[in-house]
Chains A and B, each alone.
Chain A
Amino acid sequence: MEIKSTDRDDFRRVYDADYHLLVQVIMHIVYNLEIAEDLTQEAFERFYVKNMTFPSEDDARYWLIRVAKNLALNHIRRNKREIEMVEKVKRMPSAAADERDGASEAIERENREEVRRAIDALPENLRMVIQLKEFSGLDYKSISKVLGISETNVKVRVFRARKKLEEALRGEEDVY
């Protein structure tokens, strides 16, 4: 079904279907919910303002993910220093935070940190593919449409990313 980005019903349908996915994609790049929400809003504003017609809902989704991903990557590049500073502060040992969170949340946060470190260590071309695969649940074809690469290329990159992540995560376990 054709999607017109300035049609309210179409817009609403796409928004309902893809909002969650976009926040998830952006969140795993910027790791900050406020910023992820801002950028998601920005992506939908561009969607409307561009006044485009898409052949299907899927095509609208690919376009949105691409825009969201670019907005997030641009945000990271522009604010590298500020982000590093915030991270430094966040990593400072804070007993109060641990007490407040309780044990299970502390473990969850620790796990998220480990996964994040492993993913951040991947080269960018692998990182994006595995994030779209694991967090967004997209199939190879969708990922190839979003990133503008072939499906074979997606397959190879997913595999390489997995291999590297396996090594990285196993390495971490050895430390503890």
Chain B
Amino acid sequence: MCIDAQMLSAYLDGELAEPYRTQVKEHLEHCPACRRHLEDMKAVGDRIRSAEYPDELLDRNKDRIFALLDSKYFQNGRKVSFIRRRLEISIPSLVTAAAAVVFIFIGSFMFFGTSGEQTGEILPSFAVQAGSGSVRYVSDEASLDNFTLEEILHYLDSKGYNVDISIKGLQPLETPAE
């Protein structure tokens, strides 16, 4: 009887316990079919590993990133204080939160088709920014106010744009506890 393929796979990985390992080895010596099966399996493994990325490519920034971490956490043998660490985490998330608010406002103007004046009434600070050249107008034709969001999306879609509207939650990433 020939060897179960799963056993052969474990044998290939050197993970087969005795006495099975010896039994498989002996069987392979006089069974060309199983030998070929093992060779095929090995070839797949070689093929997969041939897609590995070269060491020098993967390690190109190893020293730089270590230097960065070293200066951040270990410089002068001093640990980063609790407060500083908290700040480092909280500032980017604040920025993200602010960006989300702005996006939601823009979105709501598109939905309800408010005019520029109305924008000023609802959110004066935004209206000032919007008028000061910090916004790049894609179209100089009649205002987008005349279109619904659906129409705008449909138009962009018909022009072949990959339109993505997303709402991002600011949930922290889960890490496994040890």
For the A-B complex with A41-B65, A70-B174 known, give 20 more contacts whose Cβ atoms are closer than 8 Å: A6-B73, A8-B70, A8-B74, A19-B65, A24-B52, A27-B58, A36-B58, A41-B68, A46-B175, A48-B73, A49-B85, A70-B173, A81-B164, A130-B48, A135-B49, A140-B10, A155-B15, A158-B10, A159-B9, A166-B44
Interface set, chain B 32-87, CB cutoff 8 A to A: 40-41, 44-45, 47-53, 55, 57-62, 65-66, 68-70, 72-74, 77, 79, 85
Whether the Cβ atoms of B162 and A155 lie closer than 8 Å is no
Task: Report which B residues bind A (CB closer than 8 A).
Answer: 5-6, 9-10, 13, 15, 40-41, 44-45, 47-53, 55, 57-62, 65-66, 68-70, 72-74, 77, 79, 85, 162, 164, 166, 173-176, 178
Check if B51 sits within 8 Å of A162, measured CB to CB: no
Q: Is the CB of A19 within 8 A of B44?
A: no
In the A-B complex, the 7 residue pairs with the closest CB atoms? A115-B51, A159-B9, A159-B6, A112-B51, A23-B58, A8-B74, A134-B48
With a CB–CB cut-off of 8 A, which chain B residues contact A140?
Answer: 10, 13, 15
**Across the two chains, which residue of chain B brings its CB closest to A46?**
B175
Q: Are B162 and A67 in contact (CB under 8 A)?
A: no
Given contacts A166-B41, A169-B44, contact A67 B58 (CB under 8 A): no
A50 CA to B50 CA, complexed, in Å? 36
Q: How far is the CA of A29 from the CA of B68 in the complex (A)?
A: 24
**A20 and B41 within 8 A (CB):** no
- The reply to whether A111 and B50 contact each other, CB–CB distance below 8 Å, is yes
Question: Which A residues are CB-close (under 8 A) to B44?
Answer: 162, 165-166, 169
Main secondary structure of the interface of B (DSSP, over half): helix
Candidates B5, B61, B74, B79; contact of A37 at CB < 8 Å: B61
**How distant is the Cα of A159 from the Cα of B10 in the complex, in angstroms?**
8
A residues 65-94 in Cβ contact with B at 8 Å? 66-67, 70-71, 74, 81-82, 85
Q: Which of B53, B61, B79 contacts A6 (CB 8 A)?
A: B79
Q: Are B47 and A169 in contact (CB under 8 A)?
A: yes
| Contact assessment for A19 and B62 in the assembled complex, using a CB-CB cutoff below 8 Å | yes
Task: Give the distance in Å from the alpha carbon of A156 to the alpha carbon of B13 in the complex.
Answer: 12
Interface residues of A in 6-36 (CB under 8 A from B): 6, 8, 11-12, 15, 19-20, 23-24, 27, 33, 36
A166 CB, min distance to chain B CBs, angstroms: 5
A98 within 8 Å of B by Cβ?
no
Instruction: Please state if A8 and B173 are interface contacts (CB–CB under 8 Å).
Output: no
**Cβ–Cβ contact A159 & B55, under 8 A:** no
Q: Is B69's CB under 8 angstroms from A45's CB?
A: yes
Residues of chain B within 8 A of A33, CB atoms compared? 53, 57-58, 60
Chain B residue numbers with a CB within 8 Å of A162 are 9, 41, 44-45
Query: For residue B8, which residue of chain A has the nearest CB?
Result: A159
Indicate if A101 sits at the interface (CB-CB under 8 A).
no
Q: How far is the CA of A81 from the CA of B65 in the complex (A)?
A: 28
CB-CB under 8 A from B51, the residues of chain A are 111-112, 115-116
